């Protein structure tokens, strides 16, 4: 979408670089089974973890064009509406971030109002789901291969590509003309990714990654967790008798006399309000359980219960996707609580969507789980869970290792895993070993596993904060990598990973997914550099820039700059690979799962 005048003045998000434009839905549905999670965990005599509703945003491929004349109701609505980056109600969300950071709210609200409070996502609300798949008529394979990807390695010979589509089609008897004809009656299904955010996160905080994946032909469902891990979220009451709001207070012990009247007033207010809010839940007597230097370690009881609730929310989101995919989108529209008049809602709600476009278009048998930080720990447990068999592979973005529950041998990870971490967390030894153990679980199970680090990155490099506030990221957290390049490295690694692990029907037209060959060209390193390792007190929080003052001064004055045109970089200049499958492991996996025919070349395995 073209930038508005406001976006030219304030901070804005760059357009997505894939061959699709991106649509956006916001859905909140009552839980099928409202219940407290870990009822023994309470705050203010109430259940701390309550599953009443599930809230998620959907980033998906669309053909909406702002320059074309809209023909459908959905297209007319999409042309005029782009969702805000900061969740509504925006001033209250700013206060939630201030409370999360334990600082006064007015400077946070004022600063965000002057920078990102009115930032829009480069996506179209309620746009029509794309009616084409990559490789079909209208697909532009060259779009997005320029400055957005930040790579000098876009043009790679066929001998270097991981997927040789022409040989593959011949071996398996595919005929392009026949396949194109079949799409008229059987529209291509889109792969589905479910995204779990980290502490302080929300459904839009990772829009750069979620939207970029959607622009390459995936449907990404970003769940906003109500487990007290976000800065602030609002829960709309469903208005049904089974809602937990009717029994969320533990009254068995009775109320102290001096609290009776205030509590009665609060209960009266709760009955009249149509929503309630959830702020960040601070662990009791262990507020700094995220710190590497905390002698008490992680609050395993609370974090374990939160992960249990997150898995329940993921299951609820999957149930909603099932309704949409089975042609029951009208039920989702009917029950949706994010609509005009409800807190945190757009006036558009789900208006203008043709749910028939979504019927049968989602591949729900091979869902990818992805998460950042605490969401990475959630993804690990989702991969281990026997209750979520539809999850077939997982992506861990800088996961919080110590928060991951201990693994019983019978519940180890046995599905393909890709871990893309930050250099800041790599220097945190305990976290590094925890993530390595997870990858070792997958390797021991005979499946594919990669563990990588983006050089010069910090923990927030995979969030929108890195894009919107690059100067603060550089000055305060000492992020060295270019923010957009860090997102690009993450996305292209994920796409190449999915190109290997998703079924053949999902990856046939996706040559661009392995464009940079980051996984196939990254060799495990024996030793990593420690030039940017900070002092112990700053481990995991930030990096160190040697001779920082003189380095920044030279950059400002332009000293030492050379102009030599474009230059290719080796993968190891941008990524450290700590663990990857060898050629034999890749070949065995592909043959075992009947993915593709395999041949060998001097450059590696050709699938």
* Residues taking part in catalysis: 373, 398, 459
The gap from C-alpha 190 to its chain's centroid, in whole angstroms, comes to: 17
Place of tokens 């099928």: 32
Residue 524's beta-bridge partner residues? 577
Residues in Cβ contact with 9 at an 8 Å cutoff, skipping those fewer than 6 apart: none
Backbone angles phi, psi at 7, to 5 degrees: -75, -25
Separation CA 31–CA 28 (nearest Å): 9
Query: CA Rg, the chain, in Å?
Result: 24
To the nearest 10°, report the CA torsion of 81, 86, 92, 96.
Answer: 160
Burial annotation 242-265 (CB, 10 A radius, 16+ → b, else e): ebbbeebbeeeeeeeeeeeeeeee
Report CA 409 to chain centroid distance, whole Å.
28
Go through 11-29 and write b for each residue having 16 or more CB atoms within 10 A of its CB, e for each that does not. bbbbbbbbbbbbbbbbbbb
Ramachandran angles phi, psi of 168, nearest 5°: -65, -45
**Whole-number Å distance between alpha carbons of 29 and 78:** 22
**Cα 540–542–546 angle (5° rounding)?**
125
Phi, psi of 331 (to 5 degrees): -70, -40
Residue 277: beta bridge partners? 234
For residue 141, the 8-state DSSP code is T
Task: Report which DSSP code applies to 328.
Answer: -
**What is the C-alpha to C-alpha distance for residues 93 and 234, in angstroms, rounded to an integer?**
9
User: Across-strand partners of 249?
Assistant: 46
In contact, 540 and 420? CB cutoff 8 Å: no
Give the CB-side neighbour count of residue 140, counting CA atoms within 13 A.
12
- Contact status, residue 21 vs residue 124, Cβ threshold 8 Å: yes
Count of residues making up the chain: 607
Strand spans (E) along 42-118: 42-43, 46-47, 50-62
Cα 367 to Cα 131: distance, rounded to the nearest angstrom? 21
The residues that bridge with 42 in the sheet, in sequence order, are 47
Rounded (to 5) percent helix, strand, coil in the chain: 35, 15, 45
Which own/partner contact pairs does 341-344 have at CB distance under 8 Å and 24+ positions apart?
342/236, 342/274, 342/275, 343/88, 343/89, 343/234, 343/236, 343/274, 343/275, 344/87, 344/88, 344/89, 344/234, 344/236, 344/275
Q: Is the dihedral of CA 188, 191, 194, 197 positive or negative?
A: negative
Half-sphere exposure (Cβ direction) of 162: Cα atoms closer than 13 Å:
28
Residue whose C-alpha is closest to residue 89's, from 122, 123, 112, 107: 112
201 backbone dihedrals φ, ψ, rounded to 5°: -90, 180
């Amino acid at each position: 979408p073209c930038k508005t005048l406001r976006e030219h003045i304030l901070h804005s998000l760059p357009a997505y670089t894939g061959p699709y434009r991106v649509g956006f839905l916001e859905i909140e549905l009552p839980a099928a089974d409202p219940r407290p999670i870990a009822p023994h965990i309470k705050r203010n005599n109430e259940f701390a973890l309550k599953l009443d509703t599930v809230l998620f945003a959907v980033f998906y491929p669309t053909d909406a064009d702002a320059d074309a004349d809209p023909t459908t109701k959905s297209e007319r609505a999409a042309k005029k509406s782009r969702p805000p980056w900061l969740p509504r109600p925006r001033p209250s969300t700013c206060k939630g971030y201030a409370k999360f950071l334990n600082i006064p709210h007015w400077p946070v609200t004022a600063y965000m109002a002057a920078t990102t409070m009115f930032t829009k996502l480069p996506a179209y609300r309620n746009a029509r789901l794309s009616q084409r798949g990559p490789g079909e008529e209208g697909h532009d394979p060259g779009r997005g291969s320029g400055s957005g990807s930040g790579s000098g390695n876009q043009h790679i010979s066929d001998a270097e590509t991981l997927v040789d589509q022409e040989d593959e089609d011949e071996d398996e008897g595919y005929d392009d003309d026949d396949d194109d004809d079949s799409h008229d009656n059987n529209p291509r299904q889109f792969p589905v990714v479910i995204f779990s955010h980290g502490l302080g996160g929300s459904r839009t905080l990772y829009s750069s990654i979620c939207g970029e994946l959607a622009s390459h032909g995936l449907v990404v469902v970003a769940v906003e967790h109500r487990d007290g891990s976000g800065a602030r979220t609002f829960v709309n009451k469903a208005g049904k008798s089974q809602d937990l709001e009717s029994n969320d207070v533990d009254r068995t012990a009775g109320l102290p006399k001096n609290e009776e009247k205030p509590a009665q007033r609060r209960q009266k207010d709760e009955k009249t309000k149509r929503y309630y809010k959830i702020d960040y839940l601070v662990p009791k007597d262990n507020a700094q359980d995220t710190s590497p230097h905390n002698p008490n370690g992680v609050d395993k009881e609370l974090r374990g219960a939160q992960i249990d609730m997150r898995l329940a929310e993921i299951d609820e989101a999957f149930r909603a996707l099932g309704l949409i995919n089975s042609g029951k989108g009208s039920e989702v529209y009917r029950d949706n609580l994010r609509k005009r008049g409800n807190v945190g809602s757009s006036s558009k709600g789900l208006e203008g969507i043709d749910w028939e476009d979504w019927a049968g278009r989602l591949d729900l048998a091979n869902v990818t789980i992805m998460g950042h930080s605490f969401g990475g720990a959630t993804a690990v447990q989702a991969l281990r869970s026997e209750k979520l068999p539809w999850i077939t592979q997982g992506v861990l973005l800088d996961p919080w290792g110590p928060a991951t529950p201990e693994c019983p041998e019978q519940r180890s990870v046995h599905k393909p895993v890709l871990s893309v971490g930050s250099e800041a967390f790599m220097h945190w030894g305990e976290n590094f070993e925890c993530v390595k153990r997870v990858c070792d679980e997958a390797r021991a199970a005979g499946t594919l596993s990669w563990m990588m680090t983006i050089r010069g990155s910090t923990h927030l490099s995979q969030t929108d904060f890195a894009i919107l506030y690059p100067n603060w990221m550089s000055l305060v957290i000492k992020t060295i990598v270019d923010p957009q390049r860090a997102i690009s490295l993450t996305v292209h690694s994920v796409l190449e990973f999915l190109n290997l692990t998703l079924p053949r029907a999902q990856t046939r037209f996706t040559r661009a997914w392995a464009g940079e060959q980051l996984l196939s060209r990254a060799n495990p390193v024996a030793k990593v550099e420690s030039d940017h390792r900070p002092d112990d007190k700053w481990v995991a929080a930030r990096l160190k820039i040697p001779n920082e003052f003189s380095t920044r001064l030279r950059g400002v004055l332009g000293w030492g700059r050379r102009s030599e045109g474009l230059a290719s970089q080796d993968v190891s200049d941008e990524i450290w690979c700590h663990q990857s499958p060898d050629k034999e492991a890749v070949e065995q996996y592909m043959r075992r799962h009947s993915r593709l025919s395999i041949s060998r070349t001097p450059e590696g395995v050709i699938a």
